Amino acid sequence: MRGRGEGRQEQVVRDILNYLLHHPAVADTFEGIARWRVLEEIARRNVATTEDAMKWLIEKGFLFEEKIAGGRTIYKLNAEKRKEAERLVKEMDVEEHQRTGRSGKS
């Protein structure tokens, strides 16, 4: 696995193997693995990454947690940290652009 796209291919290899190691009785078509099995693994990883990011934002004071009816929690931007949040996003956009050669905007 050398050359262009090596990192992405390695990630997909890990995703496929990880899924099959956790579900050893699974047998599926290429399309089934590509569409459902790998997507499940990516979704699980994205949920964990999002949870970590939310915890960080709360710890740094960028977000407030608020309990609502039914025991659920909602999250809201801390208006006092708005300018700092805008600066942070701009810095992250610049870093992404430097790393990838692309702008951080769609």
What are the pLDDT digits (tens) for 27-43?
888 888 888 877 888 88
Spell out the residues 6+ positions from residue 76 whose beta carbon is closer than 8 angstroms to its own.
63, 64, 66
- For residue range 42-96, list pLDDT tens digits in order: 888 889 899 999 999 999 999 999 999 999 999 999 999 999 999 999 999 998 8
Q: Which segments of 1-106 does DSSP mark as H helices, in order? A: 6-22, 30-32, 38-59, 82-100
Rounded to two decimals, the pTM is 0.61
> Is the pLDDT score of 9 beyond 50?
yes
Residue 26: the pLDDT is: 85
